[in-house]
Structure 1
Amino acid sequence: MTGILEGLTVVEGSAFVAAPLGGLTLAQLGADVIRFDDLGGGLDHTRWPLAAGGQSLFWAGLNKGKRSLSVNLRSDAGRELVSEVIGAAGAFLTNFPARGWLSYETLRARRDDLVMVHLKGNRDGTSEVDYTVNPATGFPWATGPRNLAAPLNSVLPAWDIAMGELAAVGLLAADRHRTRTGQGQLVEIALSDVAFAVVGHLGRVAEAQLASRDSPRRDGNYLYGAFGHDFISKDERHVMVVALTRRQWKALLEVTGTQEQMAKINEATGVDLDTESGRFEDRDLIAAILRPWFRSRDLAEIRDAFEGTGVSWGPYQTFRQLVDDDPRVTVDSEMWDEVEHPGVGRYRMPGTPLDFSAVPREPVRRAPLLGEHTAEVLGGLLRLTDAELGRLHREGVIGLE
């Protein structure tokens, strides 16, 4: 590994999305991330989506570039091995309960400068997952068509994603502090804190508090606070168009030839459509004027008309259309490589979205098979001999791929 984090070793004990994503982020930047799992795999080892043979594509996606250590976590000997590996690595990322043998105090006894990042549901340690915290954020009441009477969740685990990336940032910040001071530390991050902080960052908490009212409720696919809306083309494809800036707005009117009609809206309503708030206020009228232009053209014609004009737009795509039609998700886009995953096949895998001018891009590395690096990790970090590894395997303490 020769990425920008080369030389950093991190042990990961994780399940689901946030913690594995944090480890993946570090691994794709060159850190040696060692994931440990119980014999037979953890909670997410068979999570959907699945390949034709039953292997988890979820696992394969979130564990790319890591090394896998398979240990009997129910045994004292297995827990001792993992604790030793954590001490040897010096950095630990986990969303497992940080108590008993996995408490910071217990692990720190092995290495005083240990950096540990612990992800949890709520600040007080009670349970919370993306699909339970999202309803509390207010966004499900702002998502969906105007006539929907019930809250609507998103299938994207946005808070898990934000938490995973923030966990990686927290680990790197703590490691930098250790480099400067020699001090290790425990970094804790709660999913509900992440979600509610973002609600605050986006101004929704301030709006509700200062205006003593809720934000406007669901508004379909309109963009909140400016103009943005979806339109249907002649060939029944949906596209999203956004005019946040004055430049984007002017480009949209010029390409669609609707300057005169928009000027009439200005005259009739007295609302300045050159402002974001004005475009939001008159969004229904604007959409009504633009709709026939899109309905009279197919997607290819719309794409050609918008090419190079500065209009901000994009087509709605299914996952299959994304794979088949979008040039940004091909091996020619630099972030993607075709990689063989044992037992699954060869398919496109993404690397890190970060490009560093001083460090060359590394090829994408597949996820490990469960326990694939057990002997390598224990032999390298703990200096266990082949005879010792063989004994541990016979005793059911470790799994060897």
Structure 2
Amino acid sequence: MGALSGITVLELSRVLAGPWCGMTLADLGADVIKLESFDGDDTRGLGPPFLDGMSAYFACCNRNKRSLAIDLRSQAARPLLEALVRKADVLVENFRTGGAESLGLGYETLATINPRLVYCSISGYGRDGPGAMRPGYDYVVQAEAGLMSITGPAGGEASKVGVAVADLATGQNAATAILAALLQRHHDGRGQRIDVSLFDTQLSLLANVAANALFTGADAPRFGNAHPSIVPYQAFAASDQSFVLAVASEKLWAQLCHTLGRPGWLSDPRWCTNAARVDNRESLCEALAELFIGQDAAHWLALFERAGIPAAPINSVRQALDHPVALARGMRYELGGIPMLGSPIRLSGSPARRELPPPALGEHSDMIARDAGFDPQALRAAGAIR
């Protein structure tokens, strides 16, 4: 039994943020019904790579779901839609603002059918305000909400993050909000509407960088692989390859100085506190760089591991996937011939599900229609489902 067993989710979303939210709920045990157009989620066609016709992109965010291929504009589909809404606990949608309402699927309409429905809207800039009508794309939001301005080499070109972090974090925020709304419903018996946006999420992810700007009124520069408020906390080059070093406390600084045979650095007024090291980062990092280039990365990483100092090689994606921790923690598995990553959420009493591979388009249309009390062949003949 999953933690969310007995919870039914209707996922009327596509691409990444909404599907990531739906997959999180599905992993936790919810029955997630993915309502797709006859063309399917956009990510079904985003590739290569493909495996037996399935794109890796679609597979990464749609496990443990059932797929219903349905024409939301068809009047013949309306009775099935309303039946599903009556039985649902949660609905997740990421239409453009006004899109759900044009289909008769807006919150006010569905709340009259099911007042207990938790209705989650995911958008680029929120359902109100000056950006409400704008489409939302992760890349654009990374640029507009400040992330790109602090990402990339110091003095170099602004850069996006290598994965769609605004989408992914928005999906996680949506899942968190849904769980909170379900808990609230347990107390008062009523559903509610949730409004989660990529812009709000990305702005909040600026975290300490945004706090620095609020405190000082100054804009945030790019630091590349360094940290604006902690030194040394960056990448360094060994004789063969680079590694990262994270000295995030005065205790670790003392350990580093002793480990490197430089106890005198502890009393050097330029470096004796983190604030001093931040002010004098160039001189310290130059001294460290000169030291580290004299040995290979394996030497330094072994030394730091023995001393309990956080450091790591800069692994490739393949190296990360093959990492002993990933294997020991069961973060890789295969289902239905599709290789996947596991859920990072570990519950001792209700572990994450590993039951359904990412579905083929409309794979469960007949089953879902029958469960709702409808004849799938009649619906198909009427053009309502596939």
State the TM-score, normalized to the length of structure 2: 0.90
Q: Following TM superposition, by how much is the alpha carbon of 1:333 offset from its aligned partner in structure 2, in angstroms? A: 2.0
Work out the CA distance in 2 between the residues paired with 1:364 and 1:316. 33
Runs of at least 5 residues in structure 1 that lack an aligned partner in the other structure: none
The residue aligned with 1:368 is 359
Q: Following TM superposition, by how much is the alpha carbon of 1:59 offset from its aligned partner in structure 2, in angstroms? A: 0.6
Q: What's the % identity of the aligned pairs? A: 29
Q: Following TM superposition, by how much is the alpha carbon of 1:95 offset from its aligned partner in structure 2, in angstroms? A: 0.7
* Residue of 102, 108, 112 corresponding to 1:109: 112
Work out the CA distance in 2 between the residues paired with 1:365 and 1:301. 44
User: Does residue 398 of the first structure (1) align with residue 385 of the second (2)?
Assistant: yes
User: Does residue 10 of the first structure (1) align with residue 9 of the second (2)?
Assistant: yes
Q: Deviations over 1:269-289 (max 9, x none)?
A: x33x34322222222222222
2:35 partner amino acid: F
Q: Following TM superposition, by how much is the alpha carbon of 1:88 offset from its aligned partner in structure 2, in angstroms? A: 1.6
The residue aligned with 2:325 is 328
- Say which SS state the counterpart of residue 307 (structure 1) adopts: helix
Check whether the contact 2:76–2:382 (CA below 8 A) recurs between aligned residues: no
Report the aligned-residue RMSD: 2.2
**How many positions carry a matched residue from both structures?**
376
- Per mean C-alpha deviation after superposition, the further-off stretch among 11-20 and 368-377 is 368-377
The residue aligned with 1:257 is 261
Q: Following TM superposition, by how much is the alpha carbon of 1:133 offset from its aligned partner in structure 2, in angstroms? A: 1.9
Q: Following TM superposition, by how much is the alpha carbon of 1:60 offset from its aligned partner in structure 2, in angstroms? A: 0.7
* Residue of 156, 161, 164 corresponding to 2:163: 156
- Say which SS state the counterpart of residue 42 (structure 2) adopts: coil
Task: List, as ranges, runs of 4+ consecutive aligned residues in structure 1 with deviation greater than 6 Å.
Answer: none
User: Does residue 337 of the first structure (1) align with residue 333 of the second (2)?
Assistant: yes
Matches within 5 A, 1:187-206: 187-199=194-206, 201-202=207-208, 204=210, 206=211
Work out the CA distance in 2 between the residues paired with 1:177 and 1:243. 42
The residue aligned with 1:71 is 70
- Say which SS state the counterpart of residue 249 (structure 1) adopts: helix
The residue aligned with 1:290 is 288
Check whether the contact 1:258–1:290 (CA below 8 A) recurs between aligned residues: no
Describe the shift of the 1:3–1:52 C-alpha distance in structure 2 as closer, same or farther (beyond 3 A).
closer
Work out the CA distance in 2 between the residues paired with 1:259 and 1:107. 68
Work out the CA distance in 2 between the residues paired with 1:329 and 1:364. 20
The residue aligned with 2:176 is 169
- Say which SS state the counterpart of residue 98 (structure 1) adopts: helix
Work out the CA distance in 1 between the residues paired with 2:61 and 2:179. 19
Matches within 5 A, 1:1-400: 2-48=1-47, 50-51=49-50, 53-96=52-95, 97-100=99-102, 101-123=104-126, 124=128, 125-127=132-134, 128-148=136-156, 150-199=157-206, 201-202=207-208, 204=210, 206-215=211-220, 217-227=221-231, 228-235=233-240, 237-260=241-264, 262-263=265-266, 267=268, 270-271=269-270, 273-324=271-322, 326-330=323-327, 332-341=328-337, 346-347=338-339, 349-360=340-351, 362-363=353-354, 365-380=356-371, 382-384=372-374, 388-399=375-386
Describe the shift of the 1:245–1:170 C-alpha distance in structure 2 as closer, same or farther (beyond 3 A).
same
Q: Following TM superposition, by how much is the alpha carbon of 1:189 offset from its aligned partner in structure 2, in angstroms? A: 1.6
Q: Following TM superposition, by how much is the alpha carbon of 1:164 offset from its aligned partner in structure 2, in angstroms? A: 0.6
1:244 partner amino acid: A
Q: Following TM superposition, by how much is the alpha carbon of 1:89 offset from its aligned partner in structure 2, in angstroms? A: 1.3
2:350 partner amino acid: V
Check whether the contact 1:143–1:220 (CA below 8 A) recurs between aligned residues: yes
1:370 partner amino acid: L
Describe the shift of the 1:364–1:328 C-alpha distance in structure 2 as closer, same or farther (beyond 3 A).
farther
Work out the CA distance in 1 between the residues paired with 2:189 and 2:51. 49
Q: Following TM superposition, by how much is the alpha carbon of 1:255 offset from its aligned partner in structure 2, in angstroms? A: 2.6
- Say which SS state the counterpart of residue 182 (structure 2) adopts: helix
Check whether the contact 1:258–1:289 (CA below 8 A) recurs between aligned residues: no
Check whether the contact 2:345–2:352 (CA below 8 A) recurs between aligned residues: no
- Say which SS state the counterpart of residue 363 (structure 2) adopts: coil
Work out the CA distance in 2 between the residues paired with 1:27 and 1:275. 47
- Say which SS state the counterpart of residue 11 (structure 1) adopts: strand
Check whether the contact 1:337–1:364 (CA below 8 A) recurs between aligned residues: no
- Say which SS state the counterpart of residue 370 (structure 1) adopts: coil
- Per mean C-alpha deviation after superposition, the further-off stretch among 275-284 and 240-249 is 275-284
Q: Following TM superposition, by how much is the alpha carbon of 1:122 offset from its aligned partner in structure 2, in angstroms? A: 1.6
Q: Following TM superposition, by how much is the alpha carbon of 1:364 offset from its aligned partner in structure 2, in angstroms? A: 6.0
Q: Following TM superposition, by how much is the alpha carbon of 1:203 offset from its aligned partner in structure 2, in angstroms? A: 5.3
State the TM-score, normalized to the length of structure 1: 0.86
Check whether the contact 2:26–2:353 (CA below 8 A) recurs between aligned residues: no
Check whether the contact 1:72–1:79 (CA below 8 A) recurs between aligned residues: no
Work out the CA distance in 2 between the residues paired with 1:365 and 1:232. 44
Check whether the contact 2:27–2:352 (CA below 8 A) recurs between aligned residues: no
- Say which SS state the counterpart of residue 60 (structure 2) adopts: helix
Q: Following TM superposition, by how much is the alpha carbon of 1:163 offset from its aligned partner in structure 2, in angstroms? A: 0.9
2:119 partner amino acid: M
Q: Following TM superposition, by how much is the alpha carbon of 1:360 offset from its aligned partner in structure 2, in angstroms? A: 4.2
1:318 partner amino acid: S
